[in-house]
Amino acid sequence: MSASAVHSLWTTAATAADPISKIDTPKIEYGQLSPTLIILGAAIIGVLVEAFVPRKHRYYAQLFVSVVALIAAFAAVVALAADGYGTTKARIAAMGAIAVDGPALFLQGTILLAALVGLFTFAERRLDPEAHGARVDSFAAQAASVPGSESEQAAVKAGFTTTEVFPLLLFAVAGMLVFPSANDLLTLFIALEVFSLPLYLLCALARRKRLMSQEAAVKYFLLGAFASAFTLFGIALLYGYAGSVSYGTIASVVDGTVQNVNPALADTMGNDALLLVGAAMILMGLLFKVGAVPFHMWTPDVYQGAPTPVTGFMAAATKVAAFGALLRLLYVVLPGLRWDWRPVMWGVAIITMLGGAIVAITQTDIKRLLAYSSIAHAGFILAGVIATTPDGVSSVLFYLAAYSFVTIGAFAVVTLVRDAGGEATHLSKWAGLGRRSPLVAAVFAVFLLAFAGIPLTSGFAGKFAVFKAAAEGGAAPLVVVGVISSAIAAFFYIRVIVLMFFSEPRADGPTVAVPSPLTMMAIAVGVAVTLVLGVAPQYFLDLANQAGVFVR
């Protein structure tokens, strides 16, 4: 048989067997993806600013680009919500890759506002004494130089600052915006990497205690790489199980309602081992990002070693993005597996609440204490996730919004308390702070009371909403454990307040630096949100309620 005959046979066979002979043009809804596109565009502009703008103008240029981008992206989210994309017009955009619905828009708005407040702490340049006549921020003078080397000393002398932190922050925010709205597993994984890699870099950039900062970044990177590998392997197994990475298709295969089974996949589709192991691996990756026990080991070290503005931003925004992705995975992809994942999540929530609260009592460093406190809070939020009711979703959304501003505000206060070596984070140095600077101590006390869940603070409203949803969802024993954990946690928060107001100040104690209006604004927003959500939470609870329905 001649070669041309073989070729013609091959092409006819291919045409007959392959109905997808033409590739459809991609259809992208740019308007519905505008918040993410604005942030990505600004991040790329930030990289160009680093390349082309003279060094002495970069800081102001980067700050301007970042602030404008975050405000514009938030305005785009509000416009989409006002247009009904959170409720009646909720849809799947970008050829099935991104969901534009209530939870996605609510979480994106929260992430953008948290990033804007976090950005003010990044831009703070009045806390450290001037170095060689130049104002400096919390970040290394030259990230590439070895700590203590001549090149680092030369960079400090020249008054250099690492303005690359602004585009890195924007790239991280872009990944975080996609993460809770991803509607297929590959988009989820790409978003995970896009927001994790800039965070690994940001953690290593502290101006003071650089070795500790670099150690924190390496720990975070190594453990994060493990978690990403688990996630990717889980995605491969779920793809093998369902023959698709799309959330909707996987959900229909799990429920058994799938139409048009591909004959090549008919054998694996009934294989529950692939489904269970794959789902468990993806869950592990998400629980790592959330900081739940037993995937929490990176949290205290990274929170302590990273520059404090980065810690505040990361503690708030990463939790919001990761819980959003976790909710979508459990409520959209795996509702048919509820009886399998609920008992596991019960166990994780209980050990996370108790573990975070009990270990926090032994901490002597304020940043580590806040890290263990954030682990306990992850447990409280998981109680809302386990509720598996619409109220569960809306209570988690409200808790995340309330928690993120308190966290950034608390870490912003930590940046103010300083001694000769930089930030004074050892608890013993905070003794008597209420007598030295009553205002700073009072503000920090407000944040601690909110973390403890005392009435008239946002923490109380958030905990009440989450526990109520869990109790109504049939998880009453979990609520009992949550209340006990809250009582344990209240002990160490109130211990810090007692230390600040009822101890004698030490003669060699730290001073409180006077910040620029940027940090003052970050702290003021934190206090305002804490009190408003505590005293009059109803409007925001209703908003979270309207936004609590996932598009399928």
Distance (Å, whole) CA 513 – CA 100: 43
Residue type, 304: Q
Q: Which of 241, 226, 238 is nearest to 184 (CA)?
A: 238
Segment 69-110, tens digit of pLDDT: 999 999 999 999 999 888 888 889 888 899 999 899 999 999
Q: What are phi and psi of 89, to 5 degrees?
A: -100, 10
Segment 257-285, tens digit of pLDDT: 776 666 766 666 767 889 999 999 999 99
Helix (H), strand (E), coil (C) string for 74-110:
HHHHHHHHHCCCCCCCCEEECCCCEEECHHHHHHHHH
pTM of the entire predicted model: 0.93
Residue written as token pair 């789902």: 279
Distance (Å, whole) CA 161 – CA 165: 10
Q: Cα 251 vs. chain centroid, distance in angstroms?
A: 25
Q: How many CB atoms lie within 10 A of CB 321?
A: 31
Q: Where are the beta strands (DSSP E) in 149-198?
A: none
Helix boundaries (H) for 291-337: 298-305, 308-328
Distance (Å, whole) CA 111 – CA 95: 24
Distance (Å, whole) CA 313 – CA 407: 8
Residue type, 291: G
How confident is the prediction along the chain (552 residues), in pLDDT tens digits per residue?
555 554 554 445 455 555 556 787 888 889 999 999 999 999 999 999 999 999 889 999 999 999 999 999 999 999 999 998 888 888 898 888 999 998 999 999 999 999 999 999 999 888 877 777 778 888 888 888 888 889 888 888 888 888 999 999 999 999 999 999 999 999 999 999 999 999 999 999 998 889 999 999 999 999 999 999 999 999 999 998 888 899 988 998 888 777 666 676 666 676 788 999 999 999 999 999 999 988 999 999 999 999 999 999 999 999 999 999 999 999 999 888 888 889 999 999 999 999 999 999 999 999 999 999 999 999 999 999 998 888 899 999 999 999 999 999 999 999 999 888 788 888 988 988 888 899 999 999 999 999 999 999 999 999 999 999 999 988 899 999 999 999 999 998 999 999 999 988 887 778 888 888 999 999 999 999 999 999 999 999 999 998 888 887
Label residue 96 left, alpha or beta by phi (over 0 means left) and psi (-120 to 50 means alpha): left
Q: Which of 311, 302, 306, 466 is nearest to 378 (CA)?
A: 466
Distance (Å, whole) CA 304 – CA 377: 18
Distances 5 to 1, 10, 13, 16, 18 between C-alpha atoms, Å:
7, 9, 12, 16, 20
Q: Where are the beta strands (DSSP E) in 194-319?
A: none
**1-36 burial code (b ≥16 CB/10 A, e <16):** eeeeeeeeeeeeeeeeeeeeeeeeeeeeeeebbbbb
Q: Which of 115, 204, 205 is nearest to 163 (CA)?
A: 205
Q: ∠ CA(94), CA(199), CA(158), 5° rounding?
A: 125
Q: Running DSSP on this structure, what letter comes out for residue 145?
A: S
Following DSSP, what letter does each residue of 399-424 receive, concatenated? Answer: HHHHHHHHHHHHHHHHTTEEETTEE-
Q: Which of 99, 201, 190, 66 is nearest to 144 (CA)?
A: 201
Label residue 157 left, alpha or beta by phi (over 0 means left) and psi (-120 to 50 means alpha): alpha
Distances 409 to 87, 255, 324, 532 between C-alpha atoms, Å:
32, 44, 22, 15
Q: Which of 244, 213, 15, 123 is nearest to 520 (CA)?
A: 123
